[in-house]
Structure 1
Amino acid sequence: MTPDRGSAAGAPGGTTGGSTGGHGKRFPGYRSLDRRPHWDAVTAAVVTARVAGPRPPLRLFTPAEEAAARALLNRLLDDPPVDLLPMIDARLAERETDGWHYADLPPDDRAWPLTLRALDEDAGALPGRSPS
């Protein structure tokens, strides 16, 4: 298993499937890409690109927001086997949404960075942590 190119520094576990398509500690020995012969061409292309393809540059998030987002996703999704941040970043940068939001909240492309900065500030205020 190789280190995940998208893991946040110091994230629990530190490895996921990365380019191998494995599921790390959650399903030891299972490799998603081993199932490729059973997929149609479209599914194989999508899964392979997500697991093994180059990570596109982020367009919306700053480096500090990216670090906070990766740590958040790793925590919430138990070290996901696929790097979800480029998809989230692209949707937010293109203002692709579910078509609704709460009227008293900012649009998603502003709410995400604001929230990530607030999480980072809160984490920096914890005892034994220095603000970033």
Structure 2
Amino acid sequence: MLPNFLGYLENLDYPKDRISLWIRTDHNGDNTTAILAEWAENVKLVYKSVDLKSSDEWLYPNLDPFEEHDERFVHVAQLRQEGLEAARRSGVDYLFRLDCDNFLVNNRTLRILMDQQRSAYAHSEHRGVWVQRTMRAWTMRAWTTLPAL
């Protein structure tokens, strides 16, 4: 799946020298870390920047890695906040978040979104619905266009 995702990312119809990549991954039980390290090394001169931190370490050794738990969701939220802060520091014009299971099959996706000139926050994998999940409950809320942060 990861090589396909990276291929779609590389095929985006957008100047690579204007794209900064901030990549975080952990708890990899496969060769994700090696694939990303090799890919990042190969493209680091093509993109404006490539910031990769990858780990195979399981952050919560007392918890089952195949079950969802609040600590993991808190960790992911912290990573997303760090990504937002990194984007703010670098002065980007647009923040586009992806997960490796979101395939950008339309290579104009980024251009189309930027042409809309809107500020919005939504998880694309949930098609316009923000889902907050904890161990205790699912909460779904429709998202609306929000002012830029």
Q: Give the TM-score normalised by structure 2.
A: 0.25
If asked which structure has higher relative contact order (CA below 8 Å, sep 6+), I would say 2
Q: Give the TM-score normalised by structure 1.
A: 0.27
Structure number having the greater strand percentage: 2
Structure number having the greater helix percentage: 1
